[in-house]
Amino acid sequence: MEKANIKRSGCLAAGVNALNAYIGPGKTPEDYAEYAMRDAKGIARRDLLVSMSRRLNRAASEMEKLGLTILKEDGNVAMRGDRNVKINGENIKPLLAAGVLREKRIQVLNRVNVYDLIVKDGTVVGALGAGVFEDELYVFHAKAVLVATGGAAGLYKPNHPGDSRHKMWYPPFNTGSGYAMGIRAGAEMTSFEMRFVALRCKDTIAPTGTLAQGVGARQVNVLGEDYSRKYGVATSDRVFGTVEENRLGRGPCYLKTEGISKEQDRDLMAAYLNMAPSQTLRWLETVPPSMRNVEIEGTEPYITGGHTASGYWIDEGRGTTLPGLYAAGDVAGGCPQKYVTGAFAEGEIAAESAVAYVEGVSLELGEDANFRVQRHLRGEGLENPEDLEKEMQEAMDQYAGGISQGYRYTGESLAIADGKIKELAERAEKLRAKSPQELLQVLELEDKLLVCESVIAHLDFRKETRWRTFAEREDCPGTRDEYEGFANSRRNGNKIEVFLRKLEVPYVC
């Protein structure tokens, strides 16, 4: 079930120009795991990272068989550094979709928004969906369910509020529903406090990796000083450096492209056409990157298990803590830096585990949990979801470390955010949907509010600052040994309870 259309949906909808997770020549899966552990400052699962990394290159070659152009140099895969493969990936989703549609035993239901799991005695036995345009509700009975609904965008006020609010980096239609259905069903979740703030080209919100790795552009402040390594080299440090330079009055900040060759100009324009055409258009409308440095900024925080580690707490087979439920990709936690190939690798592992699980399991009819929809078909309807969403984003921005606060928060500000989000959740319960589209909006809002509540609970739990900017706790600077572990949570009644799972082997960075 896919809420959009598998030909153009999710993170890959606009295409990609690199496979960010690949084991380059002379490197091993263990090297990749080590890199991801270091980047996450020790809070990641080595077992998940290694089992994913072992399948990365095969995922890339499977994609190539489906028709993806992987660029080659002297007959070998063209690498960008040790871990990155250059591709022409504008058509990655249509290629994938064609591959799926060739499989006779797969039935795809496009435009179906899955909004809840069906649970019986703690076991997942199906899922509930609603038509995005059609007046239809779907009840799926299943021996096993695999959730791969991506991460959560739209929790925080974005860089461009108002009419351009959907011009954000993470897909605005990945609304955290996969997380929310797990939280509601009582699954254990991990690391929601490890938010992801992307360092992006200003205004277009286009990725910066192609500039940094493709043409070696350095991060410079308005004085022309190179601060690329001054704050550290982890992903979070690079964003923090930019935020800090701005805070100290040395902004705006740029990627230094002035002086690159005309050929590099052309390569960059082509590369951005593969994934963020608005950046190419910007250069065509103004001047090419060789003539003007590219201004950079941080986005609003997202929750994603594909770049950082937020999501379901899973075992090595990608089984969640709820029997019958498997998770893969950005919705699965503990395994950061998985990107496209890692998401495919996890999908494969999860599917293999689910196939093994269904042997000997019979179909069960779970409890009918359709009350959420019923409530909104009969609600009071005095408010509309868009207004409540704006209030939610404002509260998260102001009190839970959004852009306007330089991503900083304190215990006191989080308590205010928590109060506001809970009040909004109560108001959202009364919303009325008069069409399938309105129902979608209302359900998405409820999901986002529940994810916000979890994010706040996690941010509050970790009383330290381990990942600059991603979790910048102003009243608790620096790291503390007692938080060397995963902040995990489970919903108990209406309360999100957060607890620590210590690292089995202490990590030394």
Ligand X SMILES: Cc1cc2nc3c(=O)[nH]c(=O)nc-3n(C[C@H](O)[C@H](O)[C@H](O)COP(=O)(O)OP(=O)(O)OC[C@H]3O[C@@H](n4cnc5c(N)ncnc54)[C@H](O)[C@@H]3O)c2cc1C
CA gap 351, 319 in Å, rounded:
10
Task: Decide: is 173 part of the binding site for ligand X (CB under 6 A).
Answer: yes
**What's the longest Cα–Cα distance across the chain?**
67
Q: Give the contact letters, 102-121, x = binds to ligand X (CB under 6 A), - = no.
A: -----------xx-------
Cβ atoms of 399 and 417 within 8 Å: the answer is yes
Cα R_g (the chain), whole angstroms: 22
Q: Which of 57, 159, 177, 235 binds ligand X (CB under 6 A)?
A: 177
Cβ atoms of 7 and 41 within 8 Å: the answer is no
Total residues in contact with ligand X, by rule CB under 6 A: 34
What's the min distance (Å) between Cβ of 10 and ligand X?
A: 3
What's the min distance (Å) between Cβ of 232 and ligand X?
A: 22
- What percentage of the chain's residues is helix, strand, coil (to nearest 5)? 40, 20, 45
Q: Which of 32, 156, 170, 326 binds ligand X (CB under 6 A)?
A: 170
Residues 421 to 480: which contact ligand X by CB under 6 A? none
Nearer to ligand X, 335 or 414 (CB): 335
Task: Decide: is 37 part of the binding site for ligand X (CB under 6 A).
Answer: no
Q: Give the contact letters, 244-283, x = binds to ligand X (CB under 6 A), - = no.
A: -------------------------------x--------
What's the min distance (Å) between Cβ of 235 and ligand X?
A: 13
Residues 6+ apart with CB under 8 A from 197: 236, 239, 298, 299, 300, 301, 302, 407, 469, 470
What's the min distance (Å) between Cβ of 440 and ligand X?
A: 9
CA gap 143, 162 in Å, rounded:
43
Q: Which of 7, 19, 217, 265 binds ligand X (CB under 6 A)?
A: 19
Strand partners, 472: 408
Residues 337 to 356: which contact ligand X by CB under 6 A? 339-340, 343
Task: Decide: is 150 part of the binding site for ligand X (CB under 6 A).
Answer: yes
Nearer to ligand X, 148 or 243 (CB): 148
Nearer to ligand X, 81 or 406 (CB): 81
Q: What is the DSSP string of 53-103?
A: HTTHHHHHHHHHHTT-EE-EETTEE-EETTTEEEEEETTHHHHHHHHHHH-
CA neighbours within 13 Å on the CB side: how many for 215?
25
What's the min distance (Å) between Cβ of 123 and ligand X?
A: 21
Nearer to ligand X, 325 or 417 (CB): 325
What's the min distance (Å) between Cβ of 249 and ligand X?
A: 31
Task: Decide: is 130 part of the binding site for ligand X (CB under 6 A).
Answer: no
Nearer to ligand X, 88 or 228 (CB): 88
Residues 374 to 393: which contact ligand X by CB under 6 A? none
Residues 6+ apart with CB under 8 A from 80: 18, 86, 213, 214
Nearer to ligand X, 44 or 395 (CB): 44
Neighbours of 57 (CB within 10 A): 19
Q: Give the contact letters, 290-329, x = binds to ligand X (CB under 6 A), - = no.
A: ----------------x----------------------x
Stretch that binds ligand X, among 6-14, 253-261, 382-390, 478-486 (CB under 6 A): 6-14
CA gap 316, 331 in Å, rounded:
15
What's the min distance (Å) between Cβ of 114 and ligand X?
A: 4
Find how far residue 378's CA is from the centre of its chain. Answer: 33
Stretch that binds ligand X, among 171-179, 260-268, 317-325, 377-385 (CB under 6 A): 171-179
CA dihedral 390, 496, 422, 460 (to 10 degrees): -70
Q: Can you give the length of the chain in residues?
A: 509
What's the min distance (Å) between Cβ of 412 and ligand X?
A: 33
CA gap 314, 148 in Å, rounded:
13
Q: In what order do the strands lie in the sheet with 219-220?
A: 199-201, 294-298, 253-255, 219-220
Residue whose pair of structure tokens reads 């928004």 in the numeric block: 113
**Binding residues vs ligand X (CB under 6 A):** 1-4, 9-12, 16-21, 113-114, 148-150, 169-171, 173-174, 177, 207, 275, 306, 329-331, 339-340, 343
